[in-house]
């Protein structure tokens, strides 16, 4: 414990005495004021340990959130030694025993982030303050992930990020207590570059439509970097309001801009709408400078592909994971998820499941739930058999480095789930960047009780 935080704790204890006195004065001293003698926040006392799953259950990402929740429930089952064990059969190295975590049965609390930072922090706080969660996981947007991550740092619990793609989560806004398995916009850019070059050539002019908030800017920057690196021009980058609905006024200027590639830096509903409308405006039938006009959607998900329907066919993008992968880890996960729910998991479900197992494993390695120990066990942890090939949790920024999938909308799906073709599994070495590239400061671990 650092000196500063020790001082803070003492101060707050004095404050707590005063306020207790105030409460006693009006005739009530509730039992929850009894001071916590544990070494760290929410140290499990009984035979069980509680994890907090904080996902969007209302709003635009509710379906993604529901899939994340399914994955968490499955992970808890497997950790407790029920079901077929899923990825615990393929993960290596693995210290999990199928008897919970450190012999304690895993229980969980759930909450609704509503894809709003305030609501997400409120429900995370409920899980920490009321339900006694030692770890919070989940999220479907970067703003929310960053907000909850900094809360977990303050509160002294671990945050295992769900779906968050902005560089900032493990860059500018990284925290000692936050860990991300999902990839980021820079990796998307590096992975897409060579594929775009070989498919569309070196002489192209790109036009960006970018969602006007941090994730959109992050992605626009990363993709621009890559495409300009392979010799493309950038005609223009136009910012569009989040949730614009109708994008026609942003799409018509593309028609006569001289650009021959449209990059849609949109996610979720915005992406579904802008892609649908861009196709309606005949962009894909156009021929500019003797080249076929192309649309690129750098971040893809199967759930979004469903929303865009026919329009997604043939479009290039990247994704963290797809159920059609044939490695043993992916197969094991799809098998046990499919058997449980009757359909394949989304990439959001995959990353959430993996994060839960990685956290549990780190606790076993550390021999404690103390966040400082868990952080030390996760930092630099190398593993395999989880569906993305050999992976490393880089100690310097808590970002997982692994292969990235370049995918394409399937022209001729063999079933209702067969929406994405994996074009290339871009190796880790190609998407890796230096530890100082994205800036930010991790800070130190915080295990005050």
Partner 1 sequence: MEALLLQVLNGLDKGGAYALIALGLTLVFGTLGVVNFTHGALFMLGAFVAVSVEKVLTISSKVRDESITFFEAYKETPYLEIWWGDTGAAIIDWSVPISIIIAIPIMLAVGIAMERGLIKYFYKREHADQILVTFGLAIVIGEIIKANFGANAIPQAAPEVVSGSVDIGAAIGLDGVVYPWWRMIYLAFSLSIIGGVFAFLHMTTFGMVVRAGMHDRETVGLLGINIEKRFTIVFGLAAVVAGLAGVMYTPILPPDYNMGMDFLVLSFLVVVVGGMGSLGGAVAAGFLLGILQSFSSMTAVKEIIPGIDQVIIYLIAVAILLFRPRGLFGKD
Partner 2 sequence: MKIIELSTSKRDLLILVVFSVIVLIAPFWGSLIGAGYPDLLQKFAIFGLFAVGYNILFGLTGYLSFGHAAFLGVGSYVAVWSFKLFTMNALPAIAFSIVFSGIFALVIGFLCLRRTGIYFSILTLAFAQMSYKLAYSVLTPITNGETGLFVLKDDPRVIDGALGIASAENPLASLFGITLNGYEGFYFCAVVLILGFWLSMKIFRSPFGMKLVAIKSNQTRMEYTGFNHRPYLLAAFVISGMYAGLAGALLAVVDPTAGAERMVWTASGEVVLMTILGGLGTMFGPLIGAATIKYMENIFSGINDTLLGTWFDFLPQALTDLLVTIVSPFVGSGWHLTLGLTFMMIMIFLPGGMVEGAQKIKAKFFNKSKTEQVESEQLEKDGAA
What residues line the site for partner 1 (CB under 8 A)?
Answer: 58-63, 66, 212, 236, 238-239, 241, 243, 245-246, 248-250, 252-253, 255-256, 269, 272-273, 276-277, 280-282, 285, 303, 306-311, 331, 334-335, 337-339, 341-344, 414-418
Residue 228 near which of partner 2, partner 1, none (CB within 5-8 Å, type-dependent) = none
Give me the least distance between CB of 177 and partner 2, in Å please: 10
Asked if residue 123 lies in contact with residue 113, where contact means CB atoms within 8 angstroms, the answer is: yes
From the list partner 2, partner 1, none, partner contacted by residue 256 (C-beta under 5 to 8 A by kind): partner 1
Q: How far is CA 247 from the centre of its chain?
A: 27
- State in angstroms the smallest separation of the CB of 182 from partner 1: 20
User: Under the criterion CB under 8 A, does residue 269 sit at the interface with partner 2?
Assistant: no
Min separation Cβ 144 and partner 2, Å: 9
Please give the Cα distance from 317 to 141 (Å, whole number).
Answer: 18
Q: Does 97 bind partner 2 (CB under 8 A)?
A: no
Among 130, 202, 335, 437, binds partner 2 (CB under 8 A): 130
Question: Total residues at the site for partner 2 (CB under 8 A)?
Answer: 63
Handedness of CA 30, 133, 53, 136 (dihedral sign): positive
Contact status: 230 vs partner 2 (CB under 8 A):
no
Q: Which stretch binds partner 2 (CB under 8 A): 119-127, 293-301, 313-321, 328-336?
A: 119-127
| Number of other CB atoms surrounding residue 128 within 10 Å | 24
116 binds partner 2 (CB under 8 A): yes
| Binding of partner 2 by 150 (CB under 8 A) | yes
Our CA angle for 220, 346, 392, nearest 5°, is 70
- Using DSSP, how many helices (H) and how many strands (E) does the chain show? 13, 17
Say if residue 352 is exposed, middle or buried (CB neighbours under 10 Å; 0-12, 13-18, 19+): buried
Which one, 159 or 250, has the nearer CB to partner 1? Answer: 250
Stretch near partner 2 under the rule CB under 8 A, chosen from 103-111, 303-311, 329-337, 415-423: 103-111
Q: Choosing among partner 1, partner 2, none, which partner's interface includes residue 205 (Cβ < 5 to 8 Å by kind)?
A: none
Edge-to-edge order in the sheet of strand 48-55? 105-112, 48-55, 133-138, 158-161, 178-180
**Residue 213 near which of partner 1, partner 2, none (CB within 5-8 Å, type-dependent):** partner 2
CA distance 217 to 237: 10
Q: Among 140, 94, 90, which Cα is nearest to 120's?
A: 140
Is the CB of 108 or the CB of 250 nearer to partner 1?
250
Report d(CA 372, CA 158) in Å as an integer. 9
Cβ atoms within 10 A of the Cβ of 141, count? Answer: 27
CA-based nearest residue to 215, from 248, 239, 181 = 239
- Residue 131 CB, nearest approach to partner 2 (Å): 8
Supply φ then ψ for residue 242, to 5 degrees: -65, 135
Q: By CB under 8 A, is residue 270 in contact with partner 2?
A: no
Choosing among partner 1, partner 2, none, which partner's interface includes residue 77 (Cβ < 5 to 8 Å by kind)? none
Nearest residue to 148 via CA among 50, 42, 60, 54 = 54
Cα–Cα distance measured from residue 264 to residue 250, given in angstroms and rounded to the nearest whole number: 11
Q: Residues 105, 125, 269, 394: which binds partner 2 (CB under 8 A)?
A: 125
With CB cut-offs between 5 and 8 Å by kind, which of partner 1, partner 2, none does residue 411 bind?
Answer: none
Comparing CA positions, the residue from 184, 140, 134 lying closest to residue 159 is 134
3-state secondary structure 357-382: HHHHHHHHHHCCCCHHHHHHHHCCCE
Which listed residue (126, 269, 286, 313) binds partner 2 by CB under 8 A? 126
Name the binder of 303 from partner 1, partner 2, none, CB < 5-8 A by kind.
partner 1
Minimum CB distance to partner 2 smaller for 421 or for 444: 444
Q: Shortest Cβ distance from residue 314 to partner 1 (Å)?
A: 16
SS (H, E, C) 208-264: EEEECCHHHHHHHHHHHHHHHHCCCEEEEEEEECCCCCCCHHHHHHHHCCCCCEEEE
Contacting partner 2 within 28-87 (CB under 8 A): 28, 30-33, 57-58, 62, 65-66
Q: Which residues bind partner 2 (CB under 8 A)?
A: 2, 4-5, 8, 11-12, 14-16, 18-19, 22-23, 26-28, 30-33, 57-58, 62, 65-66, 108-112, 116-119, 121-123, 125-127, 129-131, 142-143, 146-147, 150-151, 153-154, 168, 173, 212-215, 239, 241-242, 443-444, 446
């Amino acid at each position: 414990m650092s000196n500063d935080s020790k001082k803070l704790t003492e101060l707050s204890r004095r404050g707590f005495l005063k306020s207790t006195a105030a409460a006693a004065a009006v005739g009530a001293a509730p039992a929850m004021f009894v001071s916590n003698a544990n070494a760290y926040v929410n140290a499990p006392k009984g035979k069980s340990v509680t994890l907090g799953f904080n996902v969007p259950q209302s709003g635009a990402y509710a379906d993604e959130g529901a899939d994340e929740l399914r994955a968490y429930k499955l992970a808890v089952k497997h950790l407790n030694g029920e079901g077929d064990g899923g990825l615990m059969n393929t993960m290596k190295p693995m210290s999990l025993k199928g008897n919970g975590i450190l012999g304690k049965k895993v229980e969980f609390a759930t909450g609704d982030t509503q894809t709003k930072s305030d609501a997400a922090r409120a429900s995370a706080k409920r899980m920490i303050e009321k339900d006694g969660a030692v770890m919070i996981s989940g999220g479907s947007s970067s703003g929310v992930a960053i907000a909850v991550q900094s809360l977990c740092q303050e509160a002294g619990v671990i945050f295992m990020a769900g779906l968050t793609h902005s560089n900032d989560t493990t860059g500018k806004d990284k925290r000692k207590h936050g860990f991300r398995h999902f990839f980021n916009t820079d990796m998307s850019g590096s992975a897409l570059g060579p594929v775009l070059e070989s498919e569309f050539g070196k002489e192209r002019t790109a036009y960006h439509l970018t969602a006007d908030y941090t994730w959109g800017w992050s992605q626009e920057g990363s993709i621009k970097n890559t495409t300009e690196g392979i010799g493309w021009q950038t005609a223009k980058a136009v910012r569009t309001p989040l949730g614009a609905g109708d994008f026609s006024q942003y799409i018509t200027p593309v028609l006569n801009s001289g650009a021959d590639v449209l990059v849609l830096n949109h996610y979720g509903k915005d992406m579904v709408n802008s892609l649908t409308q861009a196709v309606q405006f005949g962009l894909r039938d156009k021929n500019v400078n003797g080249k076929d006009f192309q649309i690129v959607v750098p971040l893809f998900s199967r759930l979004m592909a469903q929303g865009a329907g026919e329009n997604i066919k043939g479009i290039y993008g990247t994704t963290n994971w797809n159920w059609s992968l044939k490695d043993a880890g992916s197969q094991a996960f799809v098998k046990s998820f499919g058997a449980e729910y009757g359909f394949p998991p989304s990439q959001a479900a995959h990353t959430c499941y993996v994060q839960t197992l990685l956290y549990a494993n780190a606790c076993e390695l550390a021999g404690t739930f103390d966040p400082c120990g868990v952080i030390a066990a996760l930092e630099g942890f190398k593993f395999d058999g989880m569906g993305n090939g050999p992976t490393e949790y880089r100690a310097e920024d808590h970002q997982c480095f692994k292969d990235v999938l370049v995918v394409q909308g399937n022209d001729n799906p063999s079933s209702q789930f067969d929406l994405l073709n994996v074009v290339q599994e871009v190796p880790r070495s190609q998407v890796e960047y230096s530890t100082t590239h994205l800036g930010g400061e991790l800070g130190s671990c915080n295990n005050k009780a």
